[in-house]
Amino acid sequence: MIWCHNRETKRVFGTTSTWTAGLVVNGFSTASSSHQRLAGKVAVITGGASGIGKATATEFIKNGAKVIIADIQDDLGHSVAAELGPDAAYTRCDVADEAQVAAAVGLAVKRHGRLDVFHNNAGIAGALPQDDMAAVDLGDFDRVMAVNARSTLAAVKHAARAMAPRCSGCVLCTSSGAGVIPVPAVPVYSVSKATVIAIVRAAAEPMARHGLRVNAISPGATRTPLLLRQIPLLSEMSPSLSDGLKTTVEKEVGEGGAVVLLAPEDIARAAVYLASDEARYVNGHNLVVDAGYTVHKGA
């Protein structure tokens, strides 16, 4: 049996019926307002200045959370924090640097006295083309892995250090549908995102020993600045991208008529659920949000 001593309530977890499947949780209210599902929680969101990160910060604040936006886009980050109001703040954070990840956690604790959610969302696609295995750039591979995968472990490590004393908290990690089914046009990116899922699964039981959770979200193609920059390059430079997908993405970028990409808000709402007490028994899970693409179409 896994035991977790809550220093705030002086109660020992693991002795009541709230212990299930190795995840020890107690003291959560089952009642929640549909508009305040994260009331009182404090979150750090990396890559929070744009795309999925910005949408998630917006949804978190709507649901009662206080948010630290961590990014490397300083002007944009400060602007977004000002736009979101007094419950948002910005800090510079290059997630490839473990010390900066630790500092973002420290800032949340210093400002608000606690950390409830760390959303490890920042990521990069890598240089293109990357689908010629005879010419794959291992230097670029190392950069992509540092930002997308190594940062996941750094987030788990430093968030857990802040959360464990209270036996409460969760880490969310943005993976990708490409981590579920590799996309031949971007194999380096696909490997990095599959590693995110592997880290989440491997970390789930060790996190549960402290009453903590770790989960992944794997979006399908989502209308973010990163993807919209990559689509024309992929269409032009990657022979392995199917003609059908090229036509689809050209419509999305060129004409804007066909709604073929998910909205960042679709992913943000999934993050709200996983961050909330409603998901208190969800641990080590990869929540795929892609309209079923990876289960019936493949890459």
Which three-class secondary structure state does DSSP give residue 62? helix
Which three-class secondary structure state does DSSP give residue 36? coil
189 is catalytic: yes
Query: Closest by alpha carbon to 112, among 124, 100, 104?
Result: 104
189, 192, 235, 276: the active-site residue: 189
- Secondary element (H or E) of residue 11: strand 11-13
297 is catalytic: no
193, 218, 235, 276: the active-site residue: 193
Q: Which residue has the tokens 């990069």?
A: 124
- Give the sign of the dihedral formed by CA 149, CA 154, CA 155, CA 160: positive
Sequence-distant (6+) residues with CB within 8 A of 191 are 141, 145, 182
168, 176, 192, 235: the active-site residue: 176
235 is catalytic: no
Phi, psi torsion values for 118, nearest 5 degrees: -120, 115
Distances (CA, A) of 17 to 21, 22, 166, 171, 284: 11, 12, 20, 24, 21
Residues with a catalytic annotation lie at 176, 189, 193
